[in-house]
Amino acid sequence: MDNDNLPFADCVEEFGSTTMNLYYSSPSTLAAVSSLLFKTRDTLSDAVNLHPNNDRIKFLDLGCGDGRIVIHMAKVHGIHATGVDFSPASIAEATENARLEGVSHLCTFVMEDFMQWENIPSEFTWISAYLPKHVVHRLKGLAERWLMDGEVGADVDPKLFLTILYEMKGWDHNKLAGSDENMTLWIADRQTVTPNVAK
């Protein structure tokens, strides 16, 4: 079987004391990530008669590494996408990769420690987090506040938070907006976190 069809195919990455499978190792897994996001978004949009408009999606990848998912979202879907990473080498590589792929005008890469953020910038509508489990869980409160912030209505695109490999402790599993058990993707929206956020 072609390894390009396997999400965890013979590729690992050391992340401190944690060994993580390198999820974004192939074009097919990248495509699956964005496909599930759009499928989920369209399902939610249909429920409120919202006509999809990619121009209003602002995508943020936390721990972007070499920028491959940011570049994919920009190149394939024409979405304005931003990647954040604490590594200057990763930001330099991602910036160059975007230039080589001809999507520099749609991609922004920022060197920051997003774990120091008090709030996720409000302009972002979709967030991806492919990070070690302990880091993902430290983002829980930040993600909840972001998901609950802003208007909800027929003319507002749903906010989606994509975690890869891990669920957020305490989020309502039955209200996850989308999931793919084979690839361990979890997509949360406002309804997923509502019971856990103080009114």
Predicted confidence at residue 85, as pLDDT, reads: 93
Each domain of the chain, given as residue ranges in start order, spans: 3-48+56-196
Strands 18-21 and 160-164, by their bridges, are unpaired
**For 24, how many CA atoms within 13 A lie in the half-sphere containing its CB?**
20
Domain spanning 3-48+56-196 has what CATH number? 3.40.50.150
Q: What is the DSSP string of 2-23?
A: -GGG-TT-S-EEEETTEEEE-T
CA distance 188 to 54: 19
Element (H, E) at 110: strand 107-111
- Note the pLDDT of residue 10: 38
Q: Which two tokens stand for residue 33?
A: 């990530």
pTM above 0.75, yes or no: yes
Q: Tell me the helix, strand and coil percentages in the chain, rounded to 5.
A: 40, 20, 40
Q: What is the mean pLDDT of each run of 10 residues along the chain (199 residues)?
A: 34 41 55 86 72 80 92 93 94 95 97 93 92 87 91 76 86 87 83 71
